[in-house]
Amino acid sequence: MEYSETVIEHYTNPKNVGKIENASGIGEVGNPVCGDIMKMFIKVEKNIIVDVKFKTFGCGAAIATSSISTEMIKGKSIEEALQLKNIDVVKSLGGLPPVKLHCSVLAEEAIHEAIADYYRKEGKLTEEAIQQRCKLKDSHCEHCKTLT
């Protein structure tokens, strides 16, 4: 398996690692097949993600996708962050081996889950509206089937 220089950089020197105390939203997702677990923390002020951190237990690709996705949403509005797709993460990393594409899906889903948590804490949207807006899925594995 060959990784791009960007993947290696984000794996060996990940950005935004850690936890945000009193986070505006927290999202945690995992893949039971490979064991990867991602937890994203966002701090939102005036609809802007002013800080984002992650903790990931998993392979190098999982850490790299977590790292770069936090860089991609930091400073963005909630709506802009919700537009981030796993393919954007893959492109920003310079590609991933097909067997590791699920890591990019986890990163997208962790962000969506953190935003959903933020919306729940705000109490301004119904659960149905949150589900639709954040495009929450029961399992990312269905996404993986379409990517490989």
Show the tokens assigned to 60: 């190098």
Q: Which of the residues 103, 134, 141, 144 is marked catalytic?
A: 103
Three-state secondary structure call for residue 12: helix
How far apart are alpha carbons 93 and 105 in whole angstroms? Answer: 13
Q: Is 134 labeled as catalytic in the residue annotation?
A: no
Please state at what angle helix 127-134 crosses helix 101-122, rounded to 10 degrees: 150
Q: Which of the residues 34, 59, 141, 144 is marked catalytic?
A: 34
Q: Is 144 labeled as catalytic in the residue annotation?
A: no
CB atoms within 10 A of CB 139: 11
- Residues carrying an active site annotation: 34, 103
